[in-house]
Structure 1
């Protein structure tokens, strides 16, 4: 029997110097070839002596591999006859006949595939077979995503870069008081409390819920008890939890247009019918046609509209609350960047005006502390609090209790408010530096908006300008900005602009980085250069 074809194929793939035992490599290669039917059932494999000689390895190694394959059912061995690939096909397959064997079409296909693998040889040359390359990966590539998975990937806005000039929405984590945090963290590890190393109870750690309730009441005018607070991993999970409990597939939800792409993705995979509602200078602005078809949910960012930055007026807030009360709609208030306002006090929450219990308030510590903390919160209406706490524990099996304990003490000792106060001053300076750099370069030609709060400004581009092309040109120069058009539900109605984050850029780097960004803008828009 001629074994040179199979042995040559194996020899090319054995990585002798990789540190991985040859036994494991040989077992894996033969196993894969059999599973992919590149070594079809009935194929006779070379003897252990012959294959060992061809590969230049110990015969005992090949013998051990064959014995393992026999135990696993991949091959069968009979004394005096040799070792053959076993038929491991499922008992029931599409196209099988009553006796359990494959139909003629499948058999022909298998024989044809096998024939294409066998080298030209005389009938007496034996049956050693060389597997082809790439069949397995081709089958994997052919697997299609679900329709909602396809929509999610097609509309994904997540960036491979999560920092640097001018990444929007990222705080300066280098200024985080790590020594204080480490001290508190070590304190809990030294005590080694078992109750902090298990799953979280429904709603999260009681201590964190209590200090959060106090903080939200005083700083955001949120009306809540500790029992209404549900600790989550962030805004995405908070909205996902509310959507799962309060809607069914096909229900209508109003979203601001433009809005944060991440929440739009959460809504898409939830099977909701998202209806984009345009915003004006006072916030979300439903039309008469919109009012005629009440939604199940309304998702808004009233304190600092994302991404444009306007504040929802008191008249618009009262209108929205009254409409929700009359039509039994739920409102999700995303209190994005509420702590960072420059030149004025943070505004009171929409939830604080709600007398009917229609508002679900959500927030996180990703911008105020650091994104990797992955701690957020949801304030449920009193009537829903118990259900939300139970559902959170049921769906997500939360943990991170030690982290929650550290955060609770960090807030209780006053470090949280102190950190926000310091960062508000720092970000205000960086905002001014960015606006100055933009005005020095372009004057009023490219106005900035939304710059009195949050961690980014929006630079408006001329109508018809491809802001995605500008963002790509900037990325080629190692500058990260986001195209404003990507935040609109329909690009045909989108405004053109750039989201420029300043929080994570050191003061001295803002002007040079903006000059680099300007090069990308000027290349794309030569008329304003």
Structure 2
């Protein structure tokens, strides 16, 4: 049953074998599993390995620990024919392996702080103290978020104002629900160009209003607004997708405009930790004296896109509306993950990780700029440099964004169109490129291939 020469950990082998025995019907619903001590003796393994396997089975809902009784099987798999279970994995093609993909938001587990996360996971699992929870999440985590944001973004908020969410879309859903509860006809607007996910989410919720034009750090604010309009979503510290920064004068104008029109500003501060030139841009919330700014933040960009953990900071004026709308709700985010993240923040490992990632991403960011200058010369312009996890590449060629993307793909490189960033789907000679999940070697090779794809006939001509 157990192969001690195998690289698979002992506890994992025990865990897997027990599931298989449930599947073939040896252990059925209501059966008692062997005691940890007796099973350890039977298998000639440590009791810790058996306890760890049982703990994982209990976490996943296969078994339940009952005092003075033991571990009881909760489910039965006796009727399942293993060979009938279809393979749900997508086949990997040879062509996909050869593509250099400048995708955005793909920061997976390659840079994840695995050692510390494992350490805190075991500490949380070993703790007998239940987290302090309410309908906004783990209170201790929210205190840690509040302290961190005050130190690094100047954000002023108590833990009561913070709601832990499982991603940006869920954060936006919360705001839509709150504003609709206050006024069923409420609408929300955004920047144009802007994040397509924002637009699509607002449309699905029946909240979308005509967007405000954004250009070179300035937002065109109307003097007269739709009386149903209750909020505007902005990305002032690093505009998505142009990468520009909203200047202090425009910020003050926006805050004044919001106050005069009884409007909320949703500040999406999605990647402010990654600034490569100068100091981080102060948050809009830190400048707000009237309580009009709703602050969105995320842990997905710095840690991993797979974590799916974000947060919203509500102005005090919206707390009664939140409580009324979400009375009786529990947090949508795993309490285990929240407790782990709390330790990560309190011990300042999060800040250490941010510094490490900022250094790593800056190297990639600078490499892209250097290689683009070397390969393209004056044939392209880079927008959004000095910060963030993407660049916008303007190609000085009479081609649409979609055409540039298709030409790149034919040459083995995947970049992304900018068409959907604009409400009118306008065609501009620009492409969107992320760089967190691509190696330095592939950055050099990829940009070389882009040059061949777009300017192959001109590369022998001296500008």
Could you say which TM-score interval applies, normalised by the shorter chain?
A: 0.7 to 0.9
Match in the other structure for 1:170: 106
Equivalent pair of 2:165/2:331 in contact (CA under 8 Å): no
Match in the other structure for 1:456: 390
1:228 paired residue among 161, 170, 183: 161
Pick closer, same or farther for the CA change 1:478–1:318 going to 2, 3 Å. Answer: same
Match in the other structure for 1:189: 125
**Distance in 2 between residues matched to 1:454 and 1:340, nearest whole Å:** 5
Q: Provide Cα deviations, 1:167-215, integer angstroms capped at 9, x if missing partner.
A: 123336312210110010011123365x46xx95211001100000000
**Cα displacement (A) at 1:250:** 5.2
Match in the other structure for 1:341: 275
Pick closer, same or farther for the CA change 1:215–1:374 going to 2, 3 Å. Answer: same
The gaps in structure 1 that reach 5 residues or longer are: 1-159
Q: Matches of residues 290-309 of structure 1 in structure 2 within 5 Å?
A: 290-294=222-226, 295-309=229-243
1:279 paired residue among 214, 217, 222: 214
TM-score w.r.t. length of structure 1: 0.64
Whether 1:314 aligns to 2:248 is yes
TM-score w.r.t. length of structure 2: 0.72
Whether 1:179 aligns to 2:115 is yes
Match in the other structure for 1:328: 262
1:380 paired residue among 314, 322, 325: 314
C-alpha RMSD of matched pairs (Å): 2.5
Secondary structure class of the residue paired with 2:399:
coil
Match in the other structure for 2:189: 254
Pick closer, same or farther for the CA change 1:448–1:396 going to 2, 3 Å. Answer: farther
In our comparison, the structure showing a higher alpha carbon Rg is 1
Pick closer, same or farther for the CA change 1:176–1:390 going to 2, 3 Å. Answer: farther
Match in the other structure for 1:102: none
- Bigger Cα displacement from structure 2, 398-407 vs 388-397: 388-397
**Distance in 1 between residues matched to 2:100 and 2:311, nearest whole Å:** 27
Higher helix share: 1
Equivalent pair of 2:272/2:388 in contact (CA under 8 Å): yes
Q: Matches of residues 71-90 of structure 1 in structure 2 within 5 Å?
A: none
Q: Provide Cα deviations, 1:104-150, integer angstroms capped at 9, x if missing partner.
A: xxxxxxxxxxxxxxxxxxxxxxxxxxxxxxxxxxxxxxxxxxxxxxx
Match in the other structure for 2:438: 505
Equivalent pair of 1:234/1:363 in contact (CA under 8 Å): no
Equivalent pairs counted in the alignment come to 360
The gaps in structure 2 that reach 5 residues or longer are: 1-95
Whether 1:242 aligns to 2:175 is yes
**Distance in 1 between residues matched to 2:330 and 2:194, nearest whole Å:** 26
Q: Matches of residues 360-399 of structure 1 in structure 2 within 5 Å?
A: 360-388=294-322, 391-392=325-326, 398-399=332-333
Pick closer, same or farther for the CA change 1:296–1:271 going to 2, 3 Å. Answer: same
Secondary structure class of the residue paired with 2:290:
coil
Match in the other structure for 1:268: 203
**Distance in 2 between residues matched to 1:522 and 1:308, nearest whole Å:** 24
Whether 1:409 aligns to 2:343 is yes
